[in-house]
Each structure stands twice: as C-alpha cells, then as structure tokens.
Chain A
C-alpha cells in the first residue's frame, strides 16, 4: 500500500493558501478597474499583447519540460544516458535546466515589458492602473523568480547525491507542483490583463 506522501500533500495545501493570496491581487485589480473604467480604456491600449503572448507561450512550454523532468525523477534518473541532443534520453537535470532557461526568458521578457511601459509613462505610482498592473504581474514575477531558485536547489541536490532516491524525487515533484501552479496563475492573469483588459 502506498501511504500518501506528506511532503506532496503539504505542498498542495500550501498552494491552496497561495490561491487565496492571488485572490487578493485579482480583487485589487477588478475593484480598481470598476472604479475607473476610462483609465482602463486608455491605458490597456498601450499594452503590447503579442509580446505578452510570446512570453506566456514560453512559460506554458516550461511547464511541459518541468513535467518531463518529473517523469525522469520518478524513474530515479537524475542525468542523461545519451548525448546532450538526444532529449529522449534526458534525465531530470537536463529537463530542469531547460525549464530554468525558459522561466528565466519569461522574467527577462517581463523586465523588458516593464521598461517599455515606464518609457510610455505607466509607472507603479502613476495612477491606479499602473499600481494594479505592476502589483499583480510583479508578485507573479517574484513567484517565478522563487521557482527559478527552487529549480537551482533541486538541480544542485541531484549533483550532490551519489544515489538519487525517493527523497530527491519528492522534492523535484513538489517544485514542479509549484511551477505548474504559478503557470496556471499566469494564464489567469494573462486572460484578465491582456485579453479582457
């Protein structure tokens, strides 16, 4: 019989609390949007939607590479068995590096987007749209950054051990849970901020 993994269940309950953290952010956004519709109409027109869609696709793709890394971790295979280009033989480490690169591209894209918006006079303290935009996307960006650090720690563990076991696989799995969660939150934010406007 398989006992429930306490680390995995605990991570899911904690992610539940993260749902409520982002509930607060969505509530901020919708409340401010309701009180100043004209501001929203003029400022959302400035957003670069194709660019945001591009970094969104990169982030969603990184969830898939993270999941392939989990499959490798569940096989207890930390490293690749073929050459670097034979990705069918990749281990957890290779898949997680790929995830890390794509997550980092997303953050770089966000920084570029922020810089562009600031040059177009949307700042954190400009008006309520600026505050709502930067607080929601900014806290999400910080979560992505935290996930990137977590991936580095997990990759480091795989390098540190001589025998990759269930404990290492568990930590890889729960980091992937977190990553999928942050990804789904971004899809919600993308739909609200860039599609619904």
Chain B
C-alpha cells in the first residue's frame, strides 16, 4: 500500500510540474500570436496574453486527482497498522482470507437500473415523454437496489 501511495504522489508531482510548464509556455505562445496579429493586421483584438485554459486546468486538476488518491491511500495505509498479506513476500494465500465486505451473490436490480437509464437516454433522443417513464423506473430501481438486503428474508 505504501508503494501505491508513493506512485500516486509521483504522478501528482509530475502533473503539477507539467501544468506549470504548460501554462507558462502557452502564455508566451499567446504573446507571440498577439504580436503576429498586430504585424499582419494592425493593432486591435485581444491585447493581453493568457495561458491556454483547457490544458492548464486539466493538467492542474490531474495533479489534484492523483494527490487526492495518494493522500487517501496513505491514510488507509497508516490506519491498517502493518502490511497486508498481499504486500508481504512471506505471506501465504490463506493469510488473506478475512471478510472483505458484503458482496451480493446475484441481483436483478442492476439490470433494471441499466434499462431505466437507457429509457431516459432514449427519451432524450426520440421523444422526451419516454424519459419521464425512465425516470420513474430509475427511482424504483435505485430504491430496490439500495434496500435489497434490508427487507424480506434478508432484513437485519
């Protein structure tokens, strides 16, 4: 887990450096374009230089994305108090078989939800009235899925 966190930190630093380089570079490119415009067409138009926004923001937030995951994985690693069996060379397969969480053995609800979502999208394409039916079914599917193990046989 420590290695996982460090890889994401590395990515975060990389994207941060690239974002700064990209914004400065594209700023000077815009200055050159303004000068070029003034020489060929004459004064006027946009006079202030600016970085190229789409790439600058995308790269900067890539750094945030990687740093965010790195920070969380680092926190998880600290909280687990030791290395997981899968991170140890001397571990056996049966060392890693505690309860991992609740996994539904099978369920119809994902298919219902996918079908309802398809109806919403279909409605946007061919006629919005279908979307309303899809939205109602989406509501039923979400409630059905969330409460699948909270009623009937499985209520606890």
A121: chain B residues at CB < 8 Å are none
Check: A117 CB closer than 8 A to any chain B CB.
no
B73: chain A residues at CB < 8 Å are 9
Main secondary structure of the interface of A (DSSP, over half): helix
B79: chain A residues at CB < 8 Å are 2
In the complex the two chains form, is B150's CB within 8 Å of A26's CB?
no
Q: Can you name 18 extra interface pairs (CB under 8 A) apart from A23-B61, A23-B62, A30-B53?
A: A1-B80, A3-B98, A16-B65, A16-B66, A16-B69, A17-B65, A20-B58, A22-B61, A24-B58, A27-B54, A153-B143, A157-B147, A160-B151, A161-B150, A161-B155, A161-B156, A162-B156, A167-B102
Complex A-B: 24 CB contacts under 8 Å: A1-B80, A2-B80, A2-B81, A3-B84, A5-B76, A6-B100, A6-B101, A9-B73, A9-B76, A15-B68, A16-B65, A19-B61, A19-B65, A19-B68, A23-B62, A31-B53, A149-B142, A153-B142, A156-B147, A157-B147, A160-B155, A161-B150, A162-B156, A167-B101
Instruction: Map CB proximity to B onto A164-185 as digits: 1 under 8 Å, 0 otherwise.
Output: 0101001000000000000000
| Cα-based distance from A165 to B80 in the complex (angstroms) | 20
| Cα-based distance from A149 to B135 in the complex (angstroms) | 14
Check: B64 CB closer than 8 A to any chain A CB.
yes
By a beta-carbon cutoff of 8 Å, the part of chain A in contact with chain B is 1-9, 12-13, 15-17, 19-20, 22-24, 26-27, 30-31, 34, 149, 153, 156-157, 160-163, 165, 167, 170
List the A residue with the shortest CB-CB distance to B58. Answer: A23
Q: Shortest beta-carbon distance, A184 to chain B, in Å? A: 10
In the complex the two chains form, is B69's CB within 8 Å of A157's CB?
no
Q: Shortest beta-carbon distance, B45 to chain A, in Å? A: 11
A30: chain B residues at CB < 8 Å are 53-54, 57
Instruction: Map CB proximity to A onto B52-94 as digits: 1 under 8 Å, 0 otherwise.
Output: 0110011001101110110011001001111010000000000
Check: B2 CB closer than 8 A to any chain A CB.
no
Interface size class of B (residues with CB under 8 A): 20 to 34
Main secondary structure of the interface of B (DSSP, over half): helix
Q: Shortest beta-carbon distance, A73 to chain B, in Å? A: 16
In the complex with contacts A160-B151, A162-B156, A26-B61 CB distance below 8 A = yes
In the complex with contacts A3-B98, A153-B142, A31-B54 CB distance below 8 A = yes
Check: B146 CB closer than 8 A to any chain A CB.
yes
In the complex the two chains form, is B156's CB within 8 Å of A163's CB?
yes
In the complex with contacts A23-B58, A156-B147, A12-B68 CB distance below 8 A = yes
